[in-house]
Chain A
Amino acid sequence: MLIENPLMEARQVTLYYGASEALRDVTLQAAPHQITALIGPSGCGKSTMLRCFNRMNDLIPHVRLSGQILYRTHDLYHPDIDPVEVRRKIGMVFQKPNPFPKSIYENVAWGARLNGYRGNMDELVERCLRQAALWDEVQDQLRKSALALSGGQQQRLCIARTIATEPEVILMDEPCSALDPIATLRIEDLMRELKERYTIIIVTHNMQQAARVSDYTAMMMLTDDRAAGTIIEFGETQRLFTTPSDRRTEDYITGRFG
């Protein structure tokens, strides 16, 4: 299926790590102010796909990509594009919470300062922590080390830190996989609020999570020769989960897979 006016789009993306193929001919669209979920079994290239959207794969040596990643009208892999600028507009939250070993305040302020924020920093820190539903818990301990927080709090801090750089898109790579169910629900609530302001693409192992929070879902799997990952079905989440058109999608979401 095709979405009209997607904010981000992968067009026939094929990616190699050295000699081994990781993605083959992936086409995917992300609608603005919607949550797009990437689901599928382990090792099918979901995270690799996600990392194409902010050129995070650049940090790995010997990565080759063909096809196009479009953000609005820009081809992100065009030689004239600066990956640093790309990442300022397209933020990322990782699987394992990775706050800086700095204070809570500094975790939020650091990225904003890098991006040339000149306004009132205290205000920004408070606003971002409120948006990330963390303010009430940490307002009295902003100078404490971020590492003293619990895993769920750390992950919300990472979201606050990402919001502080005013991105337009937030990529989330299994943001709840290291968290307990209660922390997971808090992050999911947060995602629903955040999509009012941002466009979210999320990788998740958790099918219920994809069904609960996302508007669109892409089902990824290894190709028939088991060499690389590709998208076998993409559509509105509700439709994909109720009437999947691909047999493999149905097997996977009903737990019959493998």
Chain B
Amino acid sequence: MGVDNFPPMLVLRRRSRPGEWLIQGFLLLCALLSILTTLGIVVVLGRESWLFFGDEAVTLSEFLTSTTWQPAIGHFGVWPLLNATLMTTTIAMLVAIPLGLGVAIYLSEYAAPHVHDFLKPTLEVLAGIPTVVYGYFALTFMTPLLQNLFGRETVEIYNTASAGLVMGIMILPLIASLSEDALRAVPRSLREAAYALGATPLETSTQVVLPAALSGISAAIILGISRAIGETMIVSIAAGAGPSFTLNPFEAAETMTGHIARISGGDLSYNTIDYNSIFALGMTLFIFTFSLNLISRIIVERFREVYE
């Protein structure tokens, strides 16, 4: 049978396969498109930032050191905005990292299969909620809650704590889900080795599985931080409008993203210094997230393949 079903001639000559070429070209195009987009963004950000810093009212040293951002009177110090971004991000990560890791360890090491199969999709639904919903959740639930806990006179209506906490809740499933994938990827044989030595489940997960999954977990955390830095809607709604330099998380402050969103939504005319300033902020944001990505790459590279 078998052989008789093939054409009788043995032909080994190279054939042209136009379909292969077409697909390959298309895929290359997709890859190039995203690279070109990124390049385009960098070019635009760079050009407008150049114009901004070229203006005589602005100096780079003021931008980097001053704690006043008042475009109306020509003060362009990035610190009030940067500080608000760092505060909301820190608060968010204080929520998202421990809780996210806890969830991940529970799901991968403790949860029975049917519990896992129910919890993980549920958690991922949490990641699909639009950020505007989270924003109003912060404003109408978290802020009153904080006010009840710490007193109305301490907690302003708009404050970075509320926005940060809710942002943490939003990022939690991202960190939990990615970390769980990393934990699951740790070979069973390592867990068995630990158990066979008389380790408890807690000792096994914290001292053997967690260190082995460290590269994936740190990548998840960095991704979470990038997400927190770039988050706009929640902070626009709940953190406050108007740059102010404060270290008190119960006071209103405006993050870089929140400021960009507010200013660009208004009647900003092209090529004014205000207009250019938001590109400088965009550039700062870009540098931040880009460095974080770079750091995560280095971390992953360093810890890669710790287990076979």
A residues neighboring B (CB under 8 Å): 54, 56, 59, 61, 84-85, 87-88, 91-92, 94, 96, 98-102, 110-111, 114-115, 147, 158, 161-162, 165
Q: Which of B54-62, B171-179, B189-197 contacts A (4 or more CB under 8 A)?
A: B189-197
Going nearest first, the 9 A-B pairs with the smallest beta carbon separation are A88-B198, A111-B197, A92-B196, A98-B189, A101-B306, A87-B198, A98-B193, A101-B307, A84-B200
A203 and B295 CA atoms in complex are apart in Å by 47
Q: Are the C-beta atoms of A87 and B196 separated by less than 8 Å?
A: yes
**CB neighbours of B113 from chain A (8 A):** 61
Can you sample 8 A-B contacts with CB below 8 Å? A56-B192, A61-B112, A87-B198, A94-B196, A100-B208, A111-B199, A114-B197, A114-B198
- Determine the chain B residues whose CB is within 8 A of the CB of A114 once the complex forms: 197-199, 203
Give the Cβ gap from A11 to chain B, nearest Cβ, in Å: 23
A156 to B212, CA, bound (A): 22
Option from A85, A94, A110 in Cβ contact (under 8 Å) with B192: A94
User: Which residues B199-245 have CB closer than 8 A to chain A?
Assistant: 199-200, 203, 207-208, 211-212
Residue B308, interface by CB 8 Å: yes
Look across to chain A and name the residue whose beta carbon is closest to the beta carbon of B307.
Answer: A101
> Closest CB-CB distance, A90 to chain B, in whole Å?
9
Q: Is there contact, CB below 8 Å, between B196 and A54?
A: yes
Is there an interface contact between A84 and B307, defined as CB atoms closer than 8 Å? no
What separation, in Å, do the CA atoms of A88 and B196 have in the docked complex? 7
Give the chain B neighbours of A91 by CB distance below 8 A.
Answer: 196-197
Cross-chain contact B197 with A101 (CB below 8 angstroms): no
Which residue of chain A has its CB nearest to the CB of B199? Answer: A114
Interface residues of B (CB under 8 A from A): 112-113, 187, 189-200, 203, 207-208, 211-212, 306-308
Min CB–CB distance B274 → chain A (angstroms): 54
Q: Do B198 and A98 touch (CB < 8 A)? A: no
Among B112, B197, B208, B306, point to the contact of A165 (Cβ < 8 A).
Answer: B197
B196 interface neighbour in A61, A102, A162, Cβ under 8 Å: A162
A175 to B179, CA, bound (A): 32
Query: A59 to B307, Cβ gap below 8 A?
Result: no
For B112, the chain A residues whose CB sits under 8 A away are 61
With A87-B198, A111-B198, A114-B203 as contacts: A98 and B192 at CB distance below 8 Å: yes
**Contact of B307 with A85 in the complex, beta carbons under 8 Å:** no
Beyond contacts A59-B195, A98-B193, A114-B203: 18 other A-B pairs, Cβ-Cβ < 8 A, are A56-B192, A56-B195, A59-B192, A84-B199, A85-B198, A87-B197, A87-B198, A88-B197, A91-B196, A92-B196, A94-B189, A94-B196, A100-B193, A100-B212, A101-B190, A101-B211, A110-B207, A114-B198
- Chain A contacts for B192, CB-based, 8 A: 56, 59, 92, 94, 98
Contacts of A111 in B (CB 8 A): 197-199
Provide the residues of chain A in CB contact with B187, threshold 8 Å. Answer: 98
Tell me how far the C-beta of A96 lies from the nearest C-beta in chain B, rounded to whole angstroms.
6
- With most chain A CB atoms within 10 A of its CB, the pick from B190, B191, B199 is B199
Q: Are A98 and B197 in contact (CB under 8 A)?
A: no
Which has the most chain B C-beta neighbours within 10 Å: A54, A91, A92, A98? A98
Q: How far is the CB of A117 from chain B (nearest CB, A)?
A: 11
A147 and B196 contacting across the interface, CB-CB below 8 Å = no
Asked if A161 and B197 sit within 8 Å, CB to CB, the answer is yes
What separation, in Å, do the CA atoms of A88 and B193 have in the docked complex?
12
Q: In the complex, are the beta carbons of B189 and A96 less than 8 A apart?
A: yes
Complex contacts, B190 vs chain A, CB 8 Å: 98, 100-101
Closest A residue to B188 by beta carbon equals A59
Residues of A within 8 A of B191 (CB): 59
Question: B299 to chain A: closest CB distance in Å?
Answer: 16
CA distance A59 to B211 in the complex (A): 21
Bound form: Cα–Cα A129–B190 in Å: 20
Query: What separation, in Å, do the CA atoms of A99 and B196 have in the docked complex?
Result: 12
B193 close to A158 (CB less than 8 A): yes
- CA separation between A94 and B195, bound complex, in Å? 12
- Asked if A147 and B308 sit within 8 Å, CB to CB, the answer is yes
Q: How far is the CA of A111 from the CA of B200 in the complex (A)?
A: 11
Give the docked Cα–Cα distance between A166 and B113 (Å): 34
Which B residues are CB-close (under 8 A) to A115? Answer: 197-198
Q: Are B197 and A110 in contact (CB under 8 A)?
A: yes
Considering the chains assembled together, what is the distance between the CA atoms of A88 and B208 in angstroms? Answer: 17
Q: Are B195 and A87 in contact (CB-based, < 8 A)?
A: yes
When the two chains form their complex, are residues B193 and A94 in contact, meaning their CB atoms are under 8 A apart? yes
**CA of A158 to CA of B196 in the docked complex: distance in angstroms?**
11
Report the Cα distance A91→B192, complex, angstroms.
Answer: 11
| A84 x B189 contact (CB < 8 A) | no
Contact B189 A162, beta carbon cutoff 8 Å = no
